[in-house]
Amino acid sequence: MALSCSSSLISPASFEFIDCSTISVSYVQTGEASISFTVVTTDLTLNNDYTNMTFGGVDYNGYIVDVTVNRIPGTLVFLFNISYKAFGC
């Protein structure tokens, strides 16, 4: 008799989005913006480019300076807290 396992764990469809309530943009006198936000995803890697973004009608182009990753306890969902420096126009 073959060994078979039954699991009640359902694998959700993959998703990735920015939690809009976490978006923060601040500027220094030179015009450089410090931007931070959280990406919510089911994957342990990001599928999108987060260095060229548009917030409030302003296009920002920059580079990531910090990323921290946490899992929401008891779920299959990860939170990527991203900070980057950019110039907007």
Instruction: Provide the whole-model pTM.
Output: 0.82
Which residues, at least 6 apart from 86, have a Cβ–Cβ distance to it below 8 Å? 32, 33, 35, 51, 53, 60, 61, 62, 63
At residue 7 the predicted structure's pLDDT band, cuts being 50, 70 and 90, is low
pLDDT in tens, 8-39: 666 668 999 999 999 999 999 998 999 999 99
Residue 42 has pLDDT above 90, yes or no: yes
Q: Tell me what pLDDT residue 38 has.
A: 98
Residue 66 within a domain: yes
Domain residue limits at 72:
16-88
Residue 2 within a domain: no
Residue 78 within a domain: yes
Residue 73 within a domain: yes
Q: Give me the number of domains the chain comprises.
A: 1
